[in-house]
Amino acid sequence: MISLVSLIITILVGALVGWLAGLLMKSKHSFWINCLLGIIGSFLGAAIARTLNIGGGLIVSLIISILGTCLVIVIARLILGKKF
Per-residue model confidence (pLDDT) at position 46: 84
83 burial via Cβ count (<10 Å: 0-12, 13-18, 19+): exposed
Cα 66 from Cα 2, distance rounded (Å): 20
| Model confidence at 3: pLDDT above 80 | yes
Query: What residue ranges do the domains of the chain occupy?
Result: 4-80
pLDDT tens for 22-76 read 888 888 888 888 888 888 988 888 888 888 888 777 788 888 888 888 999 889 8
pTM value is: 0.78
